[in-house]
Amino acid sequence: MAKERKIGEKKLECQICGGKVTIPADVMESEIVSCDDCGLEYEISGVNNGTLQLKPADSIKEDWGE
């Protein structure tokens, strides 16, 4: 069974595991996307004329008031 692929959807390579990061066609700056294989989250840091800039998303750590 073939996977469905939306028109305009892009697949980029994960910097950690080499897996695929699915980028929706209607992606906007500051949106979070993740690797289909390892789950690493990326933030879209820029969208310019169809060129995407990704950076690893900041992970929020819990602050227990320490």
CATH topology of domain 10-56: Rubrerythrin, domain 2 (2.20.28)
- CA pair distance 6, 2, nearest whole angstrom: 13
The residues spanned by each domain of the chain are 10-56
pTM here is: 0.71
pLDDT in tens, 19-48: 999 998 888 889 999 999 999 999 998 888
Give percent of the chain with pLDDT exceeding 90: 35
Torsion angle of C-alpha atoms 60, 55, 12, 9, degrees rounded to 10: 80
Under the banding of pLDDT at 50, 70 and 90, the label for residue 62 is low
- 61 band by pLDDT with thresholds 50, 70 and 90: low
Give the mean pLDDT of the chain. 81
